[in-house]
Structure 1
Amino acid sequence: MPRPVRVAIVGSGPAGIYAADALLKSDLAAAPGVSIDLIERLPAPFGLIRYGVAPDHPRIKGIITALHQVLDKPQVRLLGNVDYPGDLSLDELHRFYDALVFATGAEADRDLDIPGIGLDGSYGAADFVSWYDGHPEVPREWPLEAEQVAVLGVGNVALDVARVLAKTADELLPTEIPPNVYEGLAANRAVEVHVFGRRGPAQAKFSPMELRELDHSPTIEVIVAPEDIDYDDASIATRRANKQADMVASTLENWAIRDVGDRPHRIHLHFFENPVEVLGADGRVVALRTERTELDGTGNTVGTGTFREWPVQAVYRAVGYRSDELPKLPFDPLSSTVPHQAGRVQENGVHLPSVYVTGWVKRGPVGLIGHTKGDANETVACLVADHAAGLLRPAAEPAEDAVVDFLRARGVDFTTWEGWHHLDAHEKALGAAEGRERVKVVDRVGMLDASRSERSAERNNLR
């Protein structure tokens, strides 16, 4: 009787879990069956849903409920706190699995090549998001001395950064933020946050709901200058063809014509301002220089030669994420993705047997959750077809306990799905003591300790 196909999915964020779900719904699940290990670098699963979504957006974190259902399946096993390639190399993965799917996402900030971007006080938005979301691999403290702050970019991450900088710590206290984040935000001196986009309202990448939520805080005044409301023919066509773009533009128009109130913190949304230089003194940020732009009829902009300096003491670039290179796999440094054909990893135009990618490391950090599902379905369809054609590279040691024995022998303190339930219960108990839903544990050792109470049972019932 044929054994189940053994698949390792490296990364347990939405991309990896959707790939597992697609495998469970594929022809492999029926015969010969499929056995899936989700291999995660961090002690807890869920990737950017846990560490990339602002804490005051619990509706998005509700996606975790659906992801739970996949991890609850008996064919799926979580091996957390396991690093690729430090704990399991590419060759070692091939030793234990018939197919490998890399779903490692994109956590780093894209570069922005303008003078002064490396000054003290200039930060990547992804790093700041990781800090306020309690990522175990970032410093516990964040410098928040600046009273005027610039955020570069007009996407949802820029909105999250601006909102967290402008809100009071007490407004965020009911969320899951850990104590170090609350203490840091309580000392935050920011009173004015300026968000800059080089194009116009019709080209902004905000989602309508995210944008409207910016105005819900009783302490934040959102300000749009009337002169920043402008459209060319292409912009008008975009609004007509894209309901979300039209809703965003309409919201911005309404804000531009209203009277400015007296809430203590202000977020200014600036359009047609292209950041060209971060200015410094004594090695630190003191201002941002922008060039005024104008629409060229195609929805793009050209510079007008008019420059302005904005006094700010900190700059956050929110111009996109990028994936880190995966050792032993091909990598395109321009797109920060792994070269592939429909999810099959390609090296010099040739498919590496049994190696696949999905999610942002496959297509770049664009799109929403629905796109991630589509990615997973495409990649898994290729994996299933390759299995049917006899193209997978068979594992030398496919027994489910082989990789576990290997990790134990190597001294890897891995976590499991049961371990996540213990950590989850621990964080909820911390929250309940303060009248909150959850208080996130930040320290890796603390996360491992909270996951350990089931370790004695792992040897008999490892999922």
Structure 2
Amino acid sequence: MRQFAVIGSGPAGFYTAEALAKSYGDTARIDLIDALPVPYGLIRFGVAPDHQSIKAVSRRYDQVAEGEAVRFVGNVRVGENVSIAELGELYDAVILATGAPNDRKLGIPGEELPGVIGSAAFVGWYNGHPDFADLDPPLDGEAAAVIGNGNVALDVARILSKTRKEFAGSDIVGHALDALDMSAIRTISFVGRRGPHQIAMTPKELGELGHLEAAEPVVDVADFPPLEADAALEPGQRKSITHLRDFAARDPAGKAKRIVFDFFARPVAIEGDGRAERLVVERTALDGAGQSVGTGETYVIPANLIISSIGYATPPIAGVPYDDRGGKFANDGGRIGDGLYCVGWARRGPSGTIGTNRPDGYEVAAQIAGAMPPGSDGGKAGAAGLDALLGERRARPTSFADWRTIEAAETAAARPDAPREKLVRHEDWLKVLGR
């Protein structure tokens, strides 16, 4: 029997557990360990609440967790309840699937001012992550700026723009829904260093901006290269540019909110009297290699809320080699060292979609199977050893059955137009379980 520990129960963790279970059948046991009492990681806490079709992938993960080979072990913090070294003694291989939940810093003056928030924190706030339940973002000003031109920035702007009615069917948490309903924000500016051809927004998500009830996208036609330049783009990118050109060609609809695309703008400072009030940007241009270069011209974008969405980093773990530049664990194709591997964003950095994690997890599982052929026995204690250790330390791990109990409580508490009302604090999760 082989014993494996996968740290993190988001997409990368589940796909890796699925791949190991398929490779080893009944000759392996896989513990899927998470710091939170509930599973799904990015699916629960990162995917936008109004994108329920994407969240439905969790049903596939349920099949993995309910299989004989896989066990969910929640509410266990690596580095606090158990160390990597200890896990290495208990399991034949430890696979880090911890994602990249930390916001990258802007590195400009004023980013410490109240009102400047990383997108991971803001997304966690409206998605019910316990670390951000008390974030209380300032929504009392008329203007917000979102720095970044990717899909997370797009999610943030859309959430800031929607009416209460448009959240019907979503699982946005109640405290965020109520706060957004009272928001004074009327202008949301996307701030990006380069131009329309360089955005990382996918067409389906970008197209949604054209159908908002109370907000309209605003794009300056002067920001586009000649129309014939679109032909050189990849098909998906070309569809996104088509949306942007359509937005630029529209007459103003007079809606209450505006989503302004501020291309060719590099943030250089955030200013304000005790809180963020304005974002200072430098006008940029593209050089011959398509990179943005400053022009020396600066201007101001009013903003009482500034959300930075410029990338993420995996948090380091004591004793695990780390790539500071890449914001991920130092690895060679997923292998960190003997018996220690990483997958997903912890392996390759914050890139790709949820689906990208599947081949990634299967590739690393194949490496492990090559090093430890199915049918071999490493003689490790695995789950029994972990349970004994956690018992000694008075940890309170949760199981997948516990998650089902929590899920039932959330479903029962749902608003009439929502699939669930998420519990957002550790103590509330454990209270449902009678602990």
TM range (shorter): over 0.9
Distance 1:312 1:76, change over 3 A: same
Structure-2 residue corresponding to 1:29: 25
Structure 1 window deviating more from structure 2 (10-19 vs 144-153): it is 144-153
Q: Does 1:402 align with 2:385?
A: yes
**2: CA distance between counterparts of 1:391 and 1:184?**
56
Q: Does 1:96 align with 2:79?
A: no
Say what the alpha-carbon RMSD is for the aligned residues: 2.1
Distance 1:232 1:178, change over 3 A: closer
Structure-1 residue corresponding to 2:74: 80
Provide, for residues 421-457 of structure 1, a one-character-per-residue CA deviation record: whole Å limited to 9, x for no partner: 11111111112x63422111112111122345xx9xx
Provide, for residues 293-315 of structure 1, a one-character-per-residue CA deviation record: whole Å limited to 9, x for no partner: 22334332332332211222221
**2: CA distance between counterparts of 1:274 and 1:175?**
34
Structure-1 residue corresponding to 2:57: 63
Equivalent of 1:367, from 352, 357, 378?
352
One-letter amino acid matched to 1:312: A
SS in 2 for 1:316: strand
Provide, for residues 355-390 of structure 1, a one-character-per-residue CA deviation record: whole Å limited to 9, x for no partner: 111110110000112321121122112111111499
Q: Does 1:423 align with 2:414?
A: no
**2: CA distance between counterparts of 1:429 and 1:19?**
32
Offset of residue 265 of structure 1: 1.2
Q: TM-score normalized by structure 2? A: 0.94
Q: Tell whether the 8 Å contact from 2:92 to 2:339 is kept in structure 1 after alignment.
A: yes
**2: CA distance between counterparts of 1:85 and 1:305?**
47
One-letter amino acid matched to 1:442: V
Structure 1 window deviating more from structure 2 (13-22 vs 378-387): it is 378-387
Structure-2 residue corresponding to 1:50: 44
Larger relative contact order (CA 8 Å, sep ≥ 6):
2
Q: TM-score normalized by structure 1? A: 0.89
Offset of residue 231 of structure 1: 5.4
**2: CA distance between counterparts of 1:197 and 1:241?**
19
**2: CA distance between counterparts of 1:187 and 1:119?**
23
Offset of residue 241 of structure 1: 4.5
SS in 1 for 2:100: coil
Structure-1 residue corresponding to 2:310: 319
Offset of residue 287 of structure 1: 1.2
Equivalent of 1:12, from 5, 9, 12?
9
**2: CA distance between counterparts of 1:134 and 1:254?**
35
SS in 2 for 1:222: strand
Q: Tell whether the 8 Å contact from 1:200 to 1:231 is kept in structure 2 after alignment.
A: no
* Identity rate, percent: 37
**2: CA distance between counterparts of 1:297 and 1:257?**
28
One-letter amino acid matched to 2:396: D
SS in 1 for 2:166: helix
Give matches, 1:148-187, under 5 Å: 148-172=143-167, 174-187=169-182
Offset of residue 289 of structure 1: 1.6
SS in 2 for 1:43: coil
Q: Tell whether the 8 Å contact from 1:232 to 1:297 is kept in structure 2 after alignment.
A: no
Q: Tell whether the 8 Å contact from 2:122 to 2:132 is kept in structure 1 after alignment.
A: no
**2: CA distance between counterparts of 1:277 and 1:72?**
50
Q: Does 1:250 align with 2:232?
A: no
Offset of residue 192 of structure 1: 0.7
Structure-1 residue corresponding to 2:208: 213
SS in 1 for 2:307: strand
Q: Does 1:440 align with 2:410?
A: no
Equivalent of 2:125, from 111, 125, 131?
131
Q: Tell whether the 8 Å contact from 1:95 to 1:395 is kept in structure 2 after alignment.
A: no
Structure-2 residue corresponding to 1:261: 253
Offset of residue 75 of structure 1: 0.6
Q: Tell whether the 8 Å contact from 1:71 to 1:78 is kept in structure 2 after alignment.
A: yes
Equivalent of 1:202, from 168, 184, 197?
197
Query: Is there any run of 5+ residues in structure 1 with no aligned partner, and where?
Result: 346-351, 456-463
